[in-house]
Structure formats: structure tokens, C-alpha cells
A and B are shown apart, each in its own frame.
Chain A
Amino acid sequence: MVSKRAVWAVFRFSPVGLTLLLVGAAFALLTPTFLSPNNLLNVCTSASVVAIVGLGMTLAIASGNFDLSVGSTAAFAGCITMSLVPQIGVMAAIALGVLSGGLIGWVNGLIVTELRVPAFIATLGMLTIVRGAALIYTRGRDIYLFGRTEYKVLSSGMTPVLLALALAVLFSLLLGQTRFGRHILATGSNIQSARRVGVRTSYVLWGVFAIVGATAALSGLILSAQVLTGNGRLATGLELSAIAVVVLGGTPLTGGRASVPGTLLGSLLVAIINNGLNLLNVSVFYQNVTLGLLLLGALTLEALAARRAPNRATS
């Protein structure tokens, strides 16, 4: 019985962490190549692309909002950057790309706070607008970047992983140690009370949406650097994967709480499962099914855990 309690304790501490260990162990036993350094790097790279947006999305959800426009922002920033590299150099183009994402995010924030459109609809509108803008900008064609392999610096080796880790540390510190972070959580748990006690919730939301936009742009840049191709259809559906990853990590959709390490683990879990299924020669079609089952399974367990601990609020 002790072992059962121990497992339960680990599960309560980090459900996604435990699942990660179990799934990782299963794939390590089932496939010889899973634990090879190359494959692990692959897994981590694909995890970090989602993780970077996911981290931004964690902040948005902690502030009681959503951002559905991240996929479009990623595509837009990717295309802009690809076309700017030949003219102004790699570093300046990357900086401008991330900045453009931040600007789009800031506009989201403006629509939410100034025009009082609910975040869900505001970012839904921006989803179509920004995606349209990206397609107009590329005229629906691909942008290739011949011979500028230095742009690959964004996607090669450990760069994406390091970026994701750095952002995770940064956001943990931001949420735990800074006034802005506390204001984000206060806004997320109760925006009226936050406003009453003097939090400038509009500025907080501008900041949050700008950060989400910038992280989305960064993910878009990494995606475009991987194939050295910019395309207006890049990262379609990224918004829902990012939200799924955040939720898997244990950040509640109700706002006011955030789990930054959870988001990292959640994206790693999804990446590991997709990779393991690939190695087992399972059709790509099953990836969506497993993601759905995973999400529902995790939340079912969480709901059951909430029932076991009746003193915790379940809503």
C-alpha cells in the first residue's frame, strides 16, 4: 500500500511529470533508438517550439485570457523575418520579427482593454486578420532563403531548447519575484478586485499580450528557420496545441495561477509521444487521437483528484 501512496503523492505533485516518466520509460523499452542522443535532441527541439508559445500562453491564461492569434502571429513573423534577412542581416531581422509579434500582441491587448471585446473574440478576429496579412504579404507563395544558412542558428543544435529553458526561467522569475508578475496573477484571479486595489489592469494586459505575441513570433521564426522557408500557412492550429500544452501542464483555465515548469513538461510529453509513435511506425493520423486522449485522460484524473480532496475548490 505504501507504494501506491507514493505513486499517488508523485501524481499529486506533478501528474504530467509522472506520465512523462512512464511514457518515456515505455518508449525506451519498446524502441532501441528512442534514447539515442540524436533522437532526444529531436524530441526536445520539437517540444521547445510549442513550449515557447506555450510559455507565453501560460502568462495569458494566468491573466485570465486567451490568445487564439498565436498561430497567425507565428506565420506573419516568420514571413516578415525571412524576407528581411537578405536586406538587413540575420540579427536585425530576428529582432524585428520578434518585435512585430510583440506589436501584434499589443494590438490584441488594446482591443481587449480599450474596445472591451472579450479576449476570445478579439484574438479570434486577429487570427483571421493576421493570417490574411501573412498570406497577402507572401502572395500565398513560399519565401525561400537560399544560402543564408546563418539564419539556421535559430533552429540548429541546442538553440531552441536553450531559448525555451531561458524563457521558462525568465517567466518563473517574472511571476514569482516581480511586481508585474504578481499583478498578472491578481488580474487573472479577479480583475475587478485587482483594479480596486490599484493594479493598472489595462497596462498589465497590454504587457501580457505583447509577451504572448513575441513568444509566438519566436516560435514562428524557429519553425521557418528549420526549413528555411517562409509560408503564410505556417503554424496553422498552433493556438489550440499551445493551449492544450498549457492545460496539460496544470495551469487552470480560470486564471490566477500558473505552472511554468508544467508547460515545459506538457510540451515535452506531447513531443515524446509523437516521436515514440513515429519510431514505432504508427501512422501520423494517430498523433491527434493520442493528444486528445492524453488531454482528456489528464483532466479526468485531475477531476478525480479534486474529488478525492474535497476541501479543495473544484470550480
Chain B
Amino acid sequence: MIDPVLPVKRANQLRTVRPVKTDQPVTHEVRPVRRAIRNLDWDLLWEKFGIATILVVVWILAAIGTPRFAIPDNLSSVLRQSAFVGVASVGMTIAIIAGTFDLSVGSAQALSAWTAVTIAPHIGVLPAFIAAVAVGGIVGLLNGALVVLVRIPAFIATLGTMFLVSGLTFILTNGQTARFNGKDFVWWGNGLMGNIPVPFILFLFCAAIGAFTLHRTSFGRYVFTIGSNVKAAHVAGVPVNRTIFLVFVVVGLFTGLGAALLGSRLYSAGPGLEPGFELNVIATVVLGGTRLAGGRGSMFGTVAAAILFATLSNVLNLNHVDAFVQRVAVGLVLLLALSVEGVRQRLVERWNRSQRPGS
């Protein structure tokens, strides 16, 4: 290092100046492919297609290693299984891109599913689904009000609603599981259209709506802007409060739909429907490449991640792996996938350091 107090002239004398060779051929004409590879934004590529690539690899490996995996019945059951977490993850993806968070989806799911199962025999299937979606929306309204109007941090506000709604569900249900196996109702969770499960079609439909909202509407642009930098968004005139409020409602609506599908799939719903559901949903979104810090993410990744989790538990089931070991496997996959980026960063830093010794 050169002492900054030295006069500029002397400093220039101390520095060894490398002469510029102008007659040397420009590198990119010689090795265009290598240069293109070097210029690729690996970070972005990994974020966009990493999980989808892993999914394809896992499907190929599973098809080779597990004989009963690649038959239509099994594949359709994998896709069906991915839908129930998946539909809720669509909303959560939008929330996490906006830089917020919803821990109340688990209890909202139980309440919505119970609502659908309870009232479907009385008022019909479609109204029951609408009611379930509405219940989710109401929980979302509550979350939005708490975060936007009262200004409670989203993590705690939704933690509070989580306890509140799960308690309410226990009180309403009296701890009992509601059952209904009407044919029209259970078709939504168990039916097939062609060879493709109905809930998976709905999941793809929801994801398409979500992707359209994120990338083709001003609301979606606001979501990305707020997630990148909430203060800058505010200064730039983005209606931050209104957008965040809507985001929570959207999360609630998707959660409600996913819940109704699950209730239909199981013919039943009770207060303890799926403990830890909120964390599964968040894990799916994050595995899909959406940054927890907000501002970056994609619906495509979420769909791939939901299918990947479903595939994983299916393959482990087919190979008679213990349910307890499955938990360990799921956790390991999450950690491995999420540490790729950090490890790559470290390698790049180390490489840069070795290029410039002493700096």
C-alpha cells in the first residue's frame, strides 16, 4: 500500500506501470464459448433453474433406481401430493418476494378446511369452497390490518394470529374432526382429468395466476420493488401499505383454496390438520429460489420445489424408508440446496483473494 501522504508524483514512481499491449488479439474473438460461460450470471441461473434441474435429475434417478416410480399412477399421485402445500406456497411466494412473511397459514388452513368440510353437505360444494377461500381471506385481512394499520412486524403479527386462529378452530370444532364424503366434494381432491389429478391442475392454474400477477401487473411490480427496498419504494411513490395489505389477503385466499382441496382429499378436517404446515410452505418457497430477504423469486421455482418435496417423500416411501428418516432427508435437502449459493460465494471470494495477493 502507498502512503496517501506521499506526493502524487512520487507515488506514481513507486508503482510499477504495466505497458498496454495494443496489438494483442482480443480474447473474446478467440474463445467465444469460454467467454460466454465466464460471463454467465451463475447466481441468477441457479436461482431460476437450479431447483428445476435438481427435480429433473431426481426424477431420472428415481425412474432408474425405483421400479415402481415411473408408472402413470404413481406419477399422478406425486403430482397430487404436491398440490396441497403448493397452492398455499403460491401466496407465500408473493409474500416473501414482498419481504414479508406469514406464519398463520397453518392455522388458517385448519380453519378453512374445517369450514369447507362442515358446510359442504348443507349448502353445496362450490359455496363451501368459496367459504373456505373467504375464511382464508379474512385471516389475511386481519394479518394485513395488524401489519399495515397497527404496524406490528409481520413475523410477530402472524405468530399472534397463528395462536389466535388455531385456538379459535379448537373452540369452534370442540376438538372434533368433521367428516364428509359427498361424491362431488371429494372429486376436487381425489379426481382425475384424463390422467392428471384435479388438485394439481388447480395448483398449476393458481401458479399461473400468481406468475401473471407478479410479472404482468403493476401490483406485481410493486411487490418486487417493496421487497427489494421498502424505503426506496415508498419514496418512488409505490403504495406500500395498500400493496402489503393486499399481499396478506392474497396469501389468505390461496391458503383457503389449498385447505379446501386438502379437506376434500382427506374427506375430513379437524383442528390439528397438519402441524408445522406453515414451515413446510415456507421451506417450499425458499427451496424454489425465492430469497427470504425479499425482492427476488419466481413462481416457477416454487412449483418445482413443491413437486420435488412430493417426489422425495414418494421415492422414500416406495423404498420403504422409515417416516422418521424421511424427515431427516427433507431437512438435509433444504439445507444442501440453500447452502449452494453461500458456498459458491465463499469460493468466489477465495478465488478473488488469491488473484490479488496482499490486498
Contact = CB atoms under 8 A, between A and B. Distances in A.
Are A and B genuine complex partners? yes
A140 interface: yes
Contact of B171 (A114, A253, A289, A299): A289
SS class of chain B's interface: helix, strand, loop or mixed? helix
Given A122-B335, A285-B175, A292 B165 contact: yes
Contact of A117 (B163, B168, B322, B339): B339
Given A115-B343, A116-B346, A287 B152 contact: no
Contacts of A289: 163-164, 167-168, 171
Given A118-B292, A124-B282, A132-B328, A288 B341 contact: no
Contacts of A243: 159
B332 interface: yes
B246 interface: no
Given A125-B332, A127-B331, A299-B156, A314 B339 contact: no
B162 interface: yes
A293 interface: yes
Given A296-B152, A314-B151, A128 B330 contact: yes
Interface string A14-33: 00000000000000000000
Contact of B164 (A132, A140, A296): A296
Given A240-B159, A303-B151, A293 B164 contact: yes
A292 B346 contact: no
Interface string A132-154: 11011000100000000000000
A274 to B, nearest CB: 12
Contact of B167 (A122, A254, A292): A292
B161 A121 contact: no
Contact of B327 (A116, A132, A314): A132
A52 to B, nearest CB: 20
Interface string A247-263: 10000011000000000
B345 interface: yes
A163 B286 CA distance: 38
A244 B159 contact: yes
Interface band, chain B? 35 or more
A103 interface: no
B171 A296 contact: no
A286 B271 CA distance: 13
B282, B326, B328 interface centre (most CB from chain A within 10 Å)? B328
A237 B275 contact: yes
A299 B339 contact: no
Contact of B331 (A126, A136, A299): A126
B284 to A, nearest CB: 11
A49 B305 CA distance: 37
A72 to B, nearest CB: 9
A111 B335 contact: yes
Nearest to B166: A288
| Most-contacted residue by chain A among B103, B160, B339, B346 (CB, 10 A) | B160
Contact of A129 (B152, B331, B346): B331
A288 B331 contact: no
Given A115-B342, A117-B338, A125 B331 contact: yes
B332 A129 contact: yes
Interface string B305-328: 000000000000000001011111
B153 interface: yes
A288 B327 contact: no
A116 B346 CA distance: 9
A8 interface: no
B156 A247 contact: yes
Nearest to A254: B153
Interface of B: 103, 146, 150-153, 155-157, 159-168, 170-171, 174-175, 275, 279, 282-283, 286, 292-293, 322, 324-328, 330-332, 334-335, 338-339, 341-343, 345-346
10 contacts: A116-B343, A116-B345, A124-B282, A125-B331, A125-B332, A126-B335, A133-B328, A244-B163, A285-B174, A289-B171
Given A118-B292, A129-B328, A292-B164, 4 more contacts: A118-B338, A136-B322, A285-B167, A296-B157
